[in-house]
Structure 1
């Protein structure tokens, strides 16, 4: 069954008909311009609208429905839904499906901004849990079982738990035990598995959320599974959340003009992962192991896996974390040097580290170029940076819920005068898009100092209304 690609086959068959089109899209599959000349005219010919033989994403009964079921089977889920708005729409749908306004939901404080936006849309009340921290690397890890238990004792009326599996840096929590504890209390477990698309397809990877019994997960197949950017999948196990509610929430968050290019890329990526994944990831893991060995021989360079703390439950080997502290370089500086001098694009940077994503498109030639670049950097770069320790950033006090803060009246004041005020906006470094500050949290001096440091490092800071990053929006009135 997994050799089939029903949606892709239907699109190819439709393409052969050379139908006369009086529907959208307006290019009518033939209009040519410099875009079609550059990318190839077949992309324009395959960019089509929903119709009977191609099915309809928001009410699938034919080939999309069949492709959904194949995807669900591949990930050990009861149900799958293609997403063309990225995993963001999946995370929003999960939270809105599990929580009514006012319901409490546990979230690790290092969630992606899409989860915070889901709180605004749903009206759910966050119960933030600080993740474990690796002091050596200055990165957030997973959520411990003990912190989940503590939160449930303190707040027994919590409705749902939201877990990241894996984190951006590859940290994996004891998801199986967390699911067991939460289900014993009839709580819903939602999983952001944006970076775990590859998990089901090799025995050396951690188990994926749906196979462990999570209620819902959202997976970015495009990140590590080989589909086109913006194509993702939402998974559902039926027991605690009704399928009808999920469909209703999806119709709130997802376009009715779904791209068949994105959807068929999901259909084909699934087939490739199931039928060839073991071989593909065997080769990839061998390359990664060799790469780490060579990298760890470079003075001043350390790969994450060799130094991660015992606070880590499990780790995703496809996350290539590289600590540059021994070179005297910040991660931001190393990121810029690699891009500007060596034409190498890393996934992200932070105060101490750079991160690369290993996936099915990698070649050893790419790894060798990165090794050679880092060897030359180790020989030539000596920084004198006063690095800010990640752990010095204290947890922020949540004063107003993200939803209430979002709809509150705000005013802009100089960032330097904002200590003790309640933020009216979220601030994050992108990538990864994890908020340093969430609207409704109280602003601290440490946070302001860190923002100034990020400005000096020329990090890409998003979320602030003032693009000069000199002013910040705070709540007016009693909470200011």
Structure 2
């Protein structure tokens, strides 16, 4: 019988085990082959000996991520306690792997899942893998900002009523821009209909620790939530948490995780999750109070510049914008005659400021635990100077970020169908078999199984011209696109 551990948030069991292991000076006749850095001096010089010395393989004193029974298990228990979950899984494949695990844990081939179309590509990737059928709730759009909002309660209720055989409802909580749906109401609707509720909470780590934050997925009663600790939680890139509620069988989820996650879990990533969880549990409330305060100050200063619109809680309408993430610094740029991606490029190339992303009409400066007020002052000053130097007529700029898709078949059917490559400019009316998206944020403009329309082609062309980083298709230049093949009678092969 496994020994029970007292849940003390001051502990960091993986970090402590690695510290102990470092002191043992064990001779390595195992992988990795750099042998604590001795075999790769350039890498050791670049990353540092202290880092390389704990880039180790699974062994008895350090547990095993595929089947944790000691220090990793204890770290997961502490994470679950800190986040108010029944269980937590340490994930080293990014929140992509967490999201895919959520979908694969509750859906099988032919099952329906209700979700907004403005999901991250990882959700649709999961549908390609398992063969589930998406039932899209197309989000309401703020036409001035050109952004999609949350899922309206009425829309979710309608989708549940029309598809009572769906197995789950998936919610973005929050969106990249900080928009939150009425998560508690959606959870209740899903549970009342016998469905699971899953939350893509990639941008909501701080909801669990900050004050006056939107409700977290676990507090709202969601069954599973994917949390990007590396985004606002301070852990290393690619590290994430998967949280589950009491209605989900832990052992089943572990089996799903082990279908795709590496058997060589990185102890650098796992220890960063362990240390970051401890930091948030002990200091998160104070830290995120400061982050929210900095974001509020920055919004006020940017709006005082004129031309820009740093939007916030004034968007709340009780439904499609049920709440707003106070740490998000989302700024509408179109009114100064510049696309968001153009401001993004100017900030980086001329002011040495790297923000999270710029799209057709907005930018996002991601604020979190490592930001300082003086750097925000620099951002505000740069935006003011960009307006002074580059402001122009805004007529002719595209103002729509989201185009409702026309879904013809399931992502899995389209992805694995026989395809041909055609010039993208002549693909209107065809059915797409691959993804096209701007990254970040990684929300598909086109996904497998959707009809290509002239509006979508215009959007893709415009985004490319403005300098958006386009990803997805086999053709890296996105001059060609893969579509489903038809026979001589126009029937899909």
Instruction: Report the TM-score when normalising by structure 1.
Output: 0.97
5 Å matches for 1:2-41? 2-31=9-38, 32-41=40-49
5 Å matches for 1:421-432? 421-432=430-441
Q: Deviations over 1:251-299 (max 9, x none)?
A: 0121000000100110110111011011111222222222111111002
Contact 2:145/2:399 (8 A) holds in 1:
no
Given the alignment, which residue of 383, 392, 416 partners 1:407? Answer: 416
Aligned to 1:66: 74
Q: Deviations over 1:425-475 (max 9, x none)?
A: 110000000000011100100001111111111211101222222211100
Aligned to 2:4: none
1:404 aligned counterpart, secondary structure = helix
Q: Deviations over 1:70-126 (max 9, x none)?
A: 000111110111000001111111111101111000111000000010001111111
Aligned to 2:148: 140
Contact 1:412/1:472 (8 A) holds in 2:
yes
Comparing 69-78 with 412-421, greater Cα deviation is found at 412-421
Aligned to 1:388: 398
Shift of 1:38: 2.1
1:19 aligned counterpart, secondary structure = coil
In the alignment, the residues of structure 2 paired with residue 284 and residue 450 of structure 1 have an alpha-carbon distance, to the nearest angstrom, of: 34
Aligned to 1:440: 449
Contact 2:313/2:324 (8 A) holds in 1:
no
1:296 aligned counterpart, secondary structure = helix
Alignment of 1:128 with 2:136, yes or no, is yes
Given the alignment, which residue of 269, 286, 301 partners 1:279? Answer: 286
Aligned to 2:378: 369
Contact 1:75/1:208 (8 A) holds in 2:
no
2:321 aligned counterpart, secondary structure = coil
Aligned to 2:464: 455
Q: Deviations over 1:171-209 (max 9, x none)?
A: 011000100111111101111111111111122111210
Shift of 1:33: 2.1
Q: Deviations over 1:360-419 (max 9, x none)?
A: 00001110110110111121112345111217x642211111001111111011112111
In the alignment, the residues of structure 2 paired with residue 36 and residue 197 of structure 1 have an alpha-carbon distance, to the nearest angstrom, of: 32
In the alignment, the residues of structure 1 paired with residue 37 and residue 240 of structure 2 have an alpha-carbon distance, to the nearest angstrom, of: 28
In the alignment, the residues of structure 2 paired with residue 333 and residue 159 of structure 1 have an alpha-carbon distance, to the nearest angstrom, of: 42
CA change 1:306–1:314 in 2 (3 A) is closer
How large is the Cα RMSD of the aligned pairs? Answer: 1.3
In the alignment, the residues of structure 2 paired with residue 107 and residue 363 of structure 1 have an alpha-carbon distance, to the nearest angstrom, of: 36
Which consecutive unaligned segments of at least 5 residues does structure 1 have? none
Q: Deviations over 1:41-91 (max 9, x none)?
A: 111111111111111011001011011000001111101110000011111
5 Å matches for 1:55-454? 55-239=63-247, 241-305=248-312, 308=315, 310=317, 311-384=320-393, 386-390=396-400, 394-454=403-463
2:144 aligned counterpart, secondary structure = coil
Which consecutive unaligned segments of at least 5 residues does structure 2 have? 1-7
Contact 1:399/1:479 (8 A) holds in 2:
no
Aligned to 1:50: 58
- Deviant stretches of 4+, over 2 Å: 306-311, 382-385, 477-480
1:218 aligned counterpart, secondary structure = strand
Q: Deviations over 1:214-273 (max 9, x none)?
A: 11111010000000000001111132x322221110001210000001001101101110
Q: Deviations over 1:143-188 (max 9, x none)?
A: 1111100101111111111111011111011000100111111101
Contact 2:316/2:322 (8 A) holds in 1:
no
1:56 aligned counterpart, secondary structure = coil
Shift of 1:355: 0.7
2:110 aligned counterpart, secondary structure = coil
In the alignment, the residues of structure 2 paired with residue 211 and residue 306 of structure 1 have an alpha-carbon distance, to the nearest angstrom, of: 21
Contact 1:347/1:357 (8 A) holds in 2:
yes
Q: Report how many aligned residue pairs link the two structures.
A: 478
In the alignment, the residues of structure 1 paired with residue 388 and residue 11 of structure 2 have an alpha-carbon distance, to the nearest angstrom, of: 52
Aligned to 1:475: 484
Contact 2:127/2:133 (8 A) holds in 1:
yes
